[in-house]
Amino acid sequence: KADLTVLHTFTPPSRSLLGSSLASSKLDEWGIPSSQVRLLERAQAFLKEVGLLKILEDGEIAQKHPPQAVKHGLYEIHAFGTADQNVRFRLRDGKPVSQILAEAQDDPSYDLIIMGTRGYTGLKKLLVGSIAQEVALHAPCSILVAKNLQPDQRVLVGVTGRETAL
């Protein structure tokens, strides 16, 4: 029943950043759905299909607001889950580490960031870097990193009897 924000970051190609930025601004201004909004609509349709969103009597998704540009480079759909919890889908334009940290700092109500990692080690980790590691070092809240998870894997959650662990 917890509120959930699903954040996707998108780094536009640097050679077309200015043109892409101008085009995006104009599309927003004219009310034409951008590729970012269409991506969020697809994510929302998937969650409706698997039964995770509240559906109204008319068959529509219960929403606080439809897909929209919140501000330049930030797009959002705000729906309600089956237990009336807030379910937000957000897309931020920019580099993943800076955008994930900006999201966490812009909304201090986040308690936990959950991220995946490919689990690179050695030279590959040095060359590619680790987004999860950078976020973990600078995040203003707790972070849970899931390594190489597959859809059919089981998950072990270890808990002590301490109040903070519960």
Confidence band of 129 (pLDDT split at 50, 70, 90)? low
pLDDT of residue 15: 47
Consecutive H or E run containing 58: none
- Contact between 53 and 87 (Cβ < 8 Å): yes
> What is the rounded average pLDDT of the residues 35-49?
85
- Contact between 34 and 24 (Cβ < 8 Å): yes
Residue 99: pLDDT over 60? yes
pLDDT of residue 19: 53
Confidence band of 32 (pLDDT split at 50, 70, 90)? low
Kindly give, in sequence order, each residue whose CB lies less than 8 Å from that of residue 143, ignoring residues fewer than 6 positions away.
112, 113, 114, 115, 132, 135, 136
CA pair distance 9, 73, nearest whole angstrom: 10
Say which amino acid occupies 141: C
Q: Please list the residues that pair with 114 across neighbouring strands.
A: 144
Q: Strands 112-117 and 74-80: what pairing?
A: unpaired
Report yes or no on whether pTM surpasses 0.85: no
> Hey, what are 151's tokens?
């859809």
pLDDT of residue 119: 67
